[in-house]
Amino acid sequence: MSFMTYILIGAALTGVAVIAKSRYMSFWAQKSEDYADGPVFDIRERFNGPIACEGVIYGPTGKVTSRFVADFDASWNGNVGTMKEKFHYDSGQVQHREWTLTLGNDGKIKAEAPDVVGTGTGAQKGSAVLLNYRIKLTEEAGGHALDVTDWMYLMSNGSIMNRSQFRKFGIKVAELVATMRPIDKAYAGE
């Protein structure tokens, strides 16, 4: 075999290894069925009323690029829910977002928001919720459209751990890790 053949074989094997790692040993390798046996994460129950959220956003190098705290308020009319979000970033910026979530009888979710391109899709199964959507960043943030994979996991105390990855052309450009927990109305002074 020629030297060029060895290089081509090596490149092909490296490509297969990278694809196999991302497909079977990474964030993308998760499936809703992996969480079917856990406690039931019903978004109508868990995303209902006031919710406190804290989180960090990591850039492409893995360093924290932003921190935030947020207040959510969610309500449902049958299988259609609205979740209003108000984020306070460490930069001083305040962001308002609003989701419309539609839950099918089969556990599938449709998610819409003004900054989401088209309709996001996902599913609740066991103790986890998966959402996939394309988000359009604000002009201040570059105006890019990013593909988002958003996993939420129900904890035994009712809190939700959220991990999201943001990709452009399949390359991870950001990651978000956050907690969400219901606000006790008595504690909130209501």
What are the pLDDT tens digits along the chain (190 aa)?
Answer: 777 776 777 776 666 655 555 555 556 666 766 666 777 889 999 999 999 999 999 999 999 999 999 999 999 999 999 999 999 999 999 999 999 999 999 989 999 999 999 999 999 988 899 999 999 988 887 888 999 999 999 988 889 999 999 999 988 999 999 999 998 754 444 4
Please report the sign of the dihedral spanned by the C-alpha atoms of residue 142, residue 138, residue 131, residue 177.
positive
Domain 32-182, CATH number (from 3.40.190.10, 2.40.128.20, 3.40.50.2300, 3.40.50.170) = 2.40.128.20
Q: Is the pTM of this model over 0.85?
A: no
The residue whose two tokens read 């030297």 is 3
Q: How far apart, in whole angstroms, are the C-alpha atoms of residue 190 and residue 187?
A: 8
The residue whose two tokens read 């394309």 is 134
Neighbours of 33 (CB within 10 A): 11
List, in order, residues 6 or more apart from 6 with CB less than 8 Å away: none
Q: How far apart, in whole angstroms, are the C-alpha atoms of residue 11 and residue 151?
A: 32
Query: What separation, in Å, do the N-terminal and C-terminal C-alpha atoms of the chain show?
Result: 77
